[in-house]
Amino acid sequence: MDQTRALNALEPFLALAKSATSPRAAADLITQATSAPNTYVFAELLQHPNIRKLADDPTHSASLRLLETFAWGTWETYHSTPNLPPLSDAQARKLRLLSLLTIAAEKPSPAPQHNLSYPSLIARLSLSSPLELEQLVTTAIYENLLSASLNPSAQTVVITSVAPLRDLAPGSAATLLNELGAWSARCDSVLAELQAEIDGVQAKAVKRAVREAKVAKQVKGATEGAEKREGKGSKSSGKGEGAAEDLEELRDEDAMEVDAGGIGEGKKRGGKVGGKLSR
């Protein structure tokens, strides 16, 4: 549950407080407000002048202290404060839920979640059994007061997050500032770790880019060298083939000349021989 919803639930009682001019009416209004569903913040009602007047009324001042208990106190606070009005069943359920929020928010672990034991919660909330505790925690979960899970085998309540619905008690600003300072320091630490991770990733990316550029340059150089060598080889091979063809042609021409010369000489010799025979 967010604060807006809780504040909206309190609005009708703030309107009624304007007409609660008598101490009795103001005390009855406090009973109604602390019993109503979804009313989990009471600071504005506490600040209303007609409610503040109860501090000066001996008969009804206890109602004002009860409202303060609902605003920032716990079940233990109620039982340790004398002469408070008795609680109805609805008020007891509401105060236990509010106390559970406070307990769940106490000494949070640095981890995303922390555990609360069944025996500790049962004792602090004056519950009678683990089943009653589980019902209370389940109600808190369904009303979006906290994010949690039950682990009956380990007898623990695993708290993940708590709704910021408790009012700030007087004099607790210093404690709150210390908690905020510690939270800010944890955030700074996480941010520094994330920045270190980012710097590392960027450095690796730069090294990889330089390495890839170097490899690409080497590949380009090797490719161009291979193309040049292939070009020269093709040119030399062409010249060799041309020379071979020229040589073959020369050989053919020589052979033809030899053949032609042999035939002529044979004719001449034959004529001479024939001439001698005829004589």
Domain locations in the chain? 3-170, 172-279
Give the whole-angstrom CA distance, residue 275 versus residue 132: 152
Residue 268: is its pLDDT beyond 80?
Answer: no
Residue 250: is its pLDDT beyond 50?
Answer: no
Residues 6+ apart with CB under 8 A from 270: none
Confidence at residue 256, expressed as pLDDT on a 0 to 100 scale = 55
pLDDT digits (tens, 9 = 90+) for 30-71: 999 999 989 999 999 999 999 999 999 999 999 999 999 999
Confidence at residue 27, expressed as pLDDT on a 0 to 100 scale = 97
Count of CB atoms situated within 10 Å of the CB of 16: 18
Residue 216: is its pLDDT beyond 50?
Answer: yes
Residue 246: is its pLDDT beyond 50?
Answer: no
Q: Rounded to 5 degrees, what angle do the CA atoms 9, 150, 3 make?
A: 20
Confidence at residue 263, expressed as pLDDT on a 0 to 100 scale = 44
Q: Which of 88, 100, 79 is nearest to 35 (CA)?
A: 88
251 or 9, higher pLDDT: 9
234 or 188, higher pLDDT: 188
Confidence (pTM): 0.65
Q: Is residue 74 a contact partner of residue 103, using CB atoms and an 8 Å limit?
A: yes
pLDDT tier at 273, thresholds 50, 70, 90? very low
pLDDT digits (tens, 9 = 90+) for 144-189: 999 999 999 999 999 999 998 888 777 666 766 777 788 788 899 9
Q: Which of 95, 96, 99, 115 is nearest to 107 (CA)?
A: 115
Confidence at residue 259, expressed as pLDDT on a 0 to 100 scale = 53
Residues 6+ apart with CB under 8 A from 227: none
Residues 139-177 as b/e (b if ≥16 CB within 10 A, e otherwise) read ebeeeebbebebeeeebbbebeebbebbbeeeeeeeeee
